[in-house]
Amino acid sequence: MNGALLDGAVGWPPEVAERYRAIGYWRGVALGGLLTEWAERFGDAVAVVDGARRISYRELDRSADVLAAGLLARGIRRGDRVIVQLPNVAEFVVLLFALARVGAVPVMALPAHRRTEIAHLAELSGAVGYVIPDTHQGFDHRELAGEIPSVAGHVLVVGDPGRFAAFDTVAGDPAVLAGLPPVDPGDVAVLLISGGTTGRPKLITRTHDDYAYNARASAEVCGLTAADRYLVSLPVAHNFPLACPGLLGVLGVGGTAVLSPAPSPDVAFELVERERITVTALVPPMARLWVDAAAWSAGDRSSLRLLQVGGAKMDADLARAIPGALGCRAQQVFGMAEGLLNYTRDDDPAELVETTQGRPLSPDDEIRVVDEDGHDVAPGTVGELLTRGPYTPRGYYRAEQYNATVFTPDGFFRTGDLVRALPSGHLVVEGRVKDVVNRGGEKVPATELEDLLLAHPAVAQAAVIGLPDELLGEQVCAVIVASEQGPPKLKVLKAHLVALGVARFKLPDRLVVLDEFPLTAVGKISKRELVERLSGD
């Protein structure tokens, strides 16, 4: 049986779902129920540290109940979507479980998102609520909330609420929860944002069952135990620090999640020392900063045993430098919000840890590497990675047409990543076919940015490409043909994008103005030629 699924979500075929349950990947416990189990098992152990706040499993369980009852009293119902845009604070954790207990679904926005992204997420998800900090890094999220009328009914603010409701006044009697029908573990638990699609970002439906498996199996691969203290360095709403194994993985084993306001060494090193951090996850440019900073920064980092690096390709030199500089193992993680996770393993030879992006997490991750015609390539040859499995959904949320192109008829997800598979099953990422710039792990969908650039009167045509960058791996380059107004300056285009309310990480690093674009045989802009022409100058 494949319980009632959120309208607009795509389920696994019933016989496949049955198999995943029978094998034990899907255990039939929703995230809200998992916290109940953890509170029983780990009781007074510290679950979450946020600055001076230390929250035990029992307290977290209780707080989630009180908040869930408060959300219900405010009119948040099962199946409602709520945009969550919080930095790494304890309220995020309580809210995640409170929503899970109500059966409401968080839309995992990133702190860097601005009006363009939030308005899009609100429309696509049909969200009824929006949870924000008052201000974060100098930006007033309450002003942004005021510009999204569809969520106006339920804007909850962590901190000074202004004209909205204060998050910490949302409370109710947990007794009301007893009257709710149980949340279906096969239903959607969270909506994650895709970084890798054509056009505007898509939403990914992750069910309680699949997401719990994602976190549990990841924790196992990383050897997490109750003794582990995981530092949430990257923005917690991102899949990597949230569930790979991240926050959910460490809570599942009775360890402690320590929330860091930022991933940079100036902030994180102090926490590593004070909280005796054992594991964390970083994107490659940040891992590079950690390695460099370790050379001159005093402090005790001897508790660190594992540094996970993913989100973009880590070069072998950096992987090699990590153990010496930070005194811990490096692990490569090639993952995606759409599901599939690849990890290098504890017992992999150094060569594989340094030069591959890992192998699939689950024995039931099915992998194909195909050519442009969709045929399997010869072993060891580069092709597009296709996958399906117990934590890779069969479709994006409310995207029927797009799903028909990006999923094969038999349910494989076309990742858009070009890989080479080694005989050991390890994958080497060799590039991609999707139109996204990977700016040090932050994903910039090219067509989204092109449309925004075209809205400027001085831009007649636009192409967004990624160019090699020493620190970021890739930088965002806007190539344009100017209108008769004459070419704009990069500064002007950036100001235009900021005025439109675009996340800062999407702003072009570089502007190139051409008289005309190189075209492909069928007359499309040849991005490949643009990249070739502009790389290295």
Query: Please, which residue, 17 or 204, has the CB nearer to ligand OOB?
Result: 204
**In the 8-state DSSP scheme, what is residue 502?**
-
In angstroms, how far is CA 373 from the centroid of its own chain?
30
- Smallest separation, CB 305 to ligand OOB (Å): 19
Residues 6+ apart with CB under 8 A from 26: 17, 20, 185, 186, 209, 210, 212, 213, 390
Tokens 């679950």 label which residue?
Answer: 47
Nearest partner of 92 among 267, 250, 259, judged by Cα: 259
- Smallest separation, CB 488 to ligand OOB (Å): 30
Among the candidate windows 144-152, 168-176, 329-337, 510-518, which touches ligand OOB by CB under 6 A? 329-337
Structure tokens at 207: 């069910």
Among the candidate windows 8-16, 66-74, 114-122, 330-338, which touches ligand OOB by CB under 6 A? 330-338
Among 332, 344, 356, 392, the residue binding ligand OOB under the rule CB under 6 A is 332
Among 70, 185, 186, 195, the residue binding ligand OOB under the rule CB under 6 A is 195
**In the 8-state DSSP scheme, what is residue 136?**
E
Residues 6+ apart with CB under 8 A from 537: none
Query: Please, which residue, 241 or 411, has the CB nearer to ligand OOB?
Result: 241
- Smallest separation, CB 214 to ligand OOB (Å): 9
Among the candidate windows 161-169, 249-257, 334-342, 370-378, which touches ligand OOB by CB under 6 A? 334-342
Q: How far is the C-alpha of 270 from the C-alpha of 287, rounded, in Å? A: 16
* Near ligand OOB in 339-358, by CB under 6 A: 341, 357
Nearest partner of 96 among 6, 163, 189, 18, judged by Cα: 189
- Smallest separation, CB 310 to ligand OOB (Å): 4
Q: How far is the C-alpha of 25 from the C-alpha of 16, rounded, in Å? A: 12
Give the x/- contact pattern for ligand OOB in 504-523, rule: CB under 6 A: --------------------
The Cβ of residue 4 has, within 10 Å, a number of other Cβ atoms equal to 11
Among 313, 439, 496, 506, the residue binding ligand OOB under the rule CB under 6 A is 313
Q: How far is the C-alpha of 127 from the C-alpha of 122, rounded, in Å? A: 5
Helix 31-42 × helix 57-73 angle, to 10°: 150
Count of residues that interact with ligand OOB, criterion CB under 6 A: 23
Query: Please, which residue, 39 or 192, has the CB nearer to ligand OOB?
Result: 192
415 binds ligand OOB (CB under 6 A): yes
Q: Are 88 and 51 in contact (CB under 8 A)?
A: no
The Cβ of residue 409 has, within 10 Å, a number of other Cβ atoms equal to 6
310 binds ligand OOB (CB under 6 A): yes
Among the candidate windows 113-121, 167-175, 237-245, 493-501, which touches ligand OOB by CB under 6 A? 237-245
Chain positions contacting ligand OOB, by CB under 6 A: 195-196, 239-240, 244, 310-313, 332-337, 341, 357, 415, 417, 429, 432, 438, 443
